[in-house]
Structure 1
Amino acid sequence: MKLKKYILLTLGLASFLSSCKENFLDVTPTDRVSDEAIVADSVLFEAFVINRYLTARLQDKEADGAPPGFGRGYEYAMWSSLTDESIYRSDDFTWLIQRGQLAPENTGITGSLWGRSYRSIREVNYALANLDKVAMSQGHKNLISGELKFIRAFRYHDLIRNYGQVVLLGDKVAQLGEDFTDPVLFQRSGLQESIQYVTAQLDEAIAALPLNNSNTWQKGRATKGAALALKSRLLLYAASPLYKQNGTTVTWQQAADAAKAVMDLSKYSLDPNYGTMFVDEAGKSPEIIFARYYNLDSRHTALEIANGPNGYDGWGGNTPLQNLVDAYEMKNGMLTKDPASGYNPQAPYENRDPRFYATILYNGATYRGRPVETFTSGGKDSKDGPSSWNTSQTGYYLRKFMDENNPIQNPWNVAGRQPWIYFRYAETLLNYAEAQNEAVGPDASVYAAVNLVRQRQAVNMPPLPQGLSQTAMRERIRNERQVELAFEEHRFYDVRRWLIASTTENVPAYGMDITKQGNNFVYSQKVALEGRRFEEKHYWLPIPRAEIQASGTKLEQNPGY
């Protein structure tokens, strides 16, 4: 791992900048690896390929402790804090997005997606262009080619789901100078063309990638299942209303078939314990399809201190909203708004879906040997506790991903090794259920897929009631995704692709005030963050103004910005 880390840190833009050396700077650098050395050494070349799963840190507090991977992952401010799942206690450029103030000049924590993705795509194209020059067997070259195409497809998928139309570079390795005027660098392709290109790349990757990685040191590298899972997600998005509105022709049946292809591998299964798969440093869960793994030399943000309650000396980072809490059913399978559910608003956390207890710390939850106290007055985890500036504004704290075996105080040489899961089997099952329901209605296979997720051993929620209409099943599946996949970077994209963000993201960011009166608590809903707002243009992110300017204004901005 030390070699891999060294290659990432020293390479960086080496290949990008090597084409623009001037004679008076024609010296042998001592802080980077040359293009010639990478191509001449198969071990070095493979190290370069491995590090394409990572990229450079482009923003403050981004990938603190280790280089970024795909998506935000374990950051200080998580992607959930741009949605109705949570708000970030210290803002860190998230509130402007919650409040609808996103602009090309003011992109908040979303600002590095465009540049990071295209930097990575160029690096992949460089590797593919030079692969035939490397001394290795043809079989291994085929494997590396499939791996690179998967990485490139992942980057394009990230661009598509954030910006819609994207610039398709093909295999071009753009150089500074003469290539900078090439129109291919700035011409955005239609959404359908982009989906077709990425799907074709994934089909080639699927054919080349192994079902399993043969060695422990290959853990975290792409497999056939990872590429199939990415294809499943991409086609699910492409069949959804937002994408159809923007010209895609992918059918729900194609999306269902893509998810079924993952299921038909018969390789993955649901983890019996919903909570432990997120904290197992070894990442042995049968549910994990593709994940980012960490070690002592390369750790992510210490989650326990970054998100823990202030009474435990935590910083109260990504704090869940009441909006999400209300989505969790009662243990009997009914929503709290159903009068027959048994929900008691003055005992709101009793008899809820077990996934609620594994995801959210609430007033009275047992954590590290004592009950969480978010009540006032006098609650240790309220504004009356220590470090009041770290107090949750919502009355809740994050539990998912938190390992109670890790210290909160002084975690720096111990914590930060939980894997970040990009794809897991529960998502695949819910992808299938949604697509199949939209394609043919709620047949037996739809029920089976959703009920598998609901009835894993440690969750054991009741099966969905029989006789649901297609519309009713759609709502149940959407709710299932909201609670099952909470904080895993799905909600932001789900509400947009369903075209419901104009509703869900215009609802206030709610929290809960808990007041202690004698031996009892009184619960009352409050607004935790003022001014939450979503406009039609926000269905896609703006391309940062700096990118538009760098193109000589050739790059077309998204509508409304």
Structure 2
Amino acid sequence: MKLNRLFIGALATLALASCNDKMEYKEYNIYDKDYITKNFGNVGGFMTDIYNTVDYDFGNYSGGAMQASATDESMYSKLGNAIDDFYNGGWSASNAKGSIWNSMYAGIKTCNHVLGEMQGLDFEELKLNADYGAQMYRYEHYQYECRFMRAYFYFALVRQYGGVPLVKQEISAEEANTITRSSADDVFKFIIDECNDIQGKITEDYSNLGQYATGTEESGRADKLAVLALKARAALYWASPLFNSNGDKERYHTAATYAKELLDAAEARGKGLTAKYADLWDAASFNTPTIMKEILFGRRYYKNSSGDNLVETNNYPAGIEGGSGGNCPTQNLVDAYDMQATGLSIHEAGSGYDANNPYAGRDPRLAATVAVNGDQWPTYSGAAKLETFQGGINGEPLTGATPTGYYLKKLCNGAISLASNSKLKESRHTWLTFRMGEAYLNYAEAVFKYLGSADATSAEFPMSAREAASKTRLRAGMPAFAEGLDATTFWTKLQNERFVELAFEGHRFWDVRRWKEADKFFKNIVEMKLTKSDDGTITYKRQTISRQWNDKMYLFPIPQTELMKNPNLTQNPGWE
């Protein structure tokens, strides 16, 4: 059983969660329960299905739009996409963007089935097999992986909807259509309690199994660090204003405690930041030790053994063969990258920023994330340099051309060519669910909010928020945050560091919501319009686009279809 292939997202054909009140075993190669439970691999098929439910965002909306394009990170270059509904008034209970509701509850149902129906097996007829002990070790730990995944699915639900129905065991369809919503507090408590209970039981490290190793790489499976990462993130969300309306400071204490627990355990295992930021999205990230040191848990996506080109197809520049524009970084994001020499924001006096040469001397993460005019992008041999100015080969008014002046590099493999005669058209991609860069920033936020100062430390938290938040900057070749920053200034800089470090990784959409600061960040999107004069000089002009925001959008509407099936569900405020 090759568990290193657990993350083959779109192609999973193994056990699917049924909508009926009992699991339909016939969906698993038309075999019944007795057959399924005779073999490690058959039972493991259910685990594969559970792992395949983990969310990712390489372009989940029609035409390849990422959720980033519903934030100030990017604008989608093709008009009429479903992503527009988030800010044009088209969002409603009947257009609820409810795929997470459906997929997460399908995953929870499969988890509950495995936990309820597939425990206590001994596979008697396989005891003479040479790998029996190793396979039984895996089987006996499925329950802890199942519980981790179920907790993760509930996290995906609670961050989106607030309180949701908590289903902890298999129930009938009739019961499912009468269950009420638990409070967000209860859901967060369930997630954290589950993580606390299983963190000492789940496998410590699948890359070091000793006598239980089978020679098959299993770095894709959830282990103790994944559990600790989920617990730390969930605790930080629970402490944030969206879910902490009373401003309970002790929640930040809890979040800081769990973030430190994760960092201590990860560093003890040799984890840390990889040397080069851009390497995290390398095609070989999943099996390169120097890159894997930062990855705590990820979902691998590829359609065949060679990989896929989903990200490139969705985001390569218009004007090249196979390119369609896609998710184009905003000027808001570009402005967030500080000056490398001074470490100051481009808006701060003495930063060294030159508006006539706007990309020079900036944080190196800008060049790793955003393709700007004049860049060699993509990087494959023969690709022309980008022309994003008006009338350029990749600029407006070309259909699908960037409206912002930029294209996306991050997540893409620039060596891929989508040309019909290309020799490299596909590669592997990994969606990073948890990584050390986020872990340091989570710690920084929780400790800052608890201790109240960027530089404050205690016996319990000997690393200050400033020190933790500086780690991702130092890795990128940026100066550390200065000592002595006042609380307001540091908070602004810490928010900005998350914006830059975690761009296009699925965090911005949720960060701004949990901070309840959408009025500040999401209402005005800035584009950069470039024009080229006859002498080759480029002129840069900012253009601001207004987007709609209503505070009801901090939480998603419960899908109308679910309300119709279950009269005991209540709608989120403002969506009635």
Task: Report the TM range for the smaller structure's normalisation.
Answer: 0.7 to 0.9
Residue in structure 2 matched with residue 209 of structure 1 by the alignment: 202
Distance in 2 (CA, whole Å) between partners of 1:412 and 1:305 is: 16
TM-score, normalisation: structure 2: 0.85
| Residues 547, 71 of structure 1: alpha-carbon distance in 2 compared, 3 angstrom cutoff | farther
Match of 2:569 among 531, 535, 555: 555
1:178-193 map, 5 Å: 178-180=174-176, 183=178, 185=179, 187-193=180-186
C-alpha offsets along residues 146-176 of structure 1, whole Å, 9 cap, x if unaligned? 10011001100000100011111122x1223
Q: Do the aligned residues in 1 keep the contact of 2:368 with 2:410 (CA within 8 Å)?
A: yes
The equivalent residue for 2:435 is 424
Change (3 A) 1:445 1:222: same
Cα deviations by residue, 1:255-284 (Å, 9 ceiling, x for unpaired)? 111111111121311111111211233422
SS in 2 for 1:72: coil
Distance 1:135 1:73, change over 3 A: farther
Matching residue of 1:9? 13
Instruction: Give the one of 364, 367, 372 matched to 1:354.
Output: 364
User: Equivalents in 2 of 1:460, 1:39: separation in Å?
Assistant: 53
Give the gaps of 5 or more residues in structure 1: 22-26, 56-68
Q: Does 1:89 pair with 2:105?
A: no
Q: 1:20 to 1:316 in 2, by over 3 A?
A: closer
Contact 2:396/2:403 (<8 A) preserved: no
SS in 1 for 2:399: helix
Give, in angstroms, the shift of residue 304 of structure 1.
1.9
User: Residue 162 of structure 2 aligns to which amino acid in structure 1?
Assistant: G
1:433 aligns with 2:444: yes
When residues 545 and 18 of structure 1 are mapped into structure 2, their CA distance, relative to the original with a 3 A threshold, is closer
- Map 1:155-554; keep pairs closer than 5 Å: 155-171=153-169, 173-176=170-173, 178-180=174-176, 183=178, 185=179, 187-214=180-207, 216-245=216-245, 251-265=251-265, 266=267, 267=269, 268-283=271-286, 284=288, 285=291, 286-295=293-302, 297=304, 299=307, 301-313=309-321, 314-331=323-340, 332-367=342-377, 368=379, 370-377=384-391, 379-383=392-396, 388-410=398-420, 414-440=425-451, 441-442=453-454, 443=456, 445-456=464-475, 459-507=476-524, 509-517=525-533, 518-527=535-544, 531-551=546-566, 553-554=567-568
Where does the alignment leave 5 or more consecutive residues of structure 2 unmatched? 124-132, 208-214, 457-462
Per-residue CA deviation, residues 375-422 of structure 1 (Å, 9 max, x unaligned), is: 123x111136xxx21211111100001112222324798424121111
Q: AA paired with 2:394? A: D
Please report how far the alpha carbon of residue 471 of structure 1 lies from its aligned counterpart in structure 2 after TM superposition.
2.4
In 2, the alpha carbon distance for the partners of 1:33 and 1:495 equals 47
Equivalent residue letter for 1:555: L
Q: CA deviation at 1:468?
A: 1.0
**Superposed displacement of residue 141, structure 1:** 4.8
Q: For the residues of structure 2 that align with 1:375 and 1:80, how far apart are their CA atoms?
A: 23
**TM-score w.r.t. length of structure 1:** 0.87
Q: How much has 1:126 moved relative to structure 2?
A: 0.2
- C-alpha contact (below 8 Å) 2:14/2:46 kept by paired residues: no
What SS is found at the alignment partner of 1:280? Answer: coil
Amino acid at match of 2:196: D
Q: Deviations over 1:461-492 (max 9, x none)?
A: 01111101222221111110000000000001
- 1:375–1:516 CA contact under 8 A, matched in 2: yes
What letter matches 2:501 in structure 1? E
SS at match of 1:492: helix
Q: 1:226 to 1:281 in 2, by over 3 A?
A: same
CA distance in 2, matches of 1:218, 1:115: 28
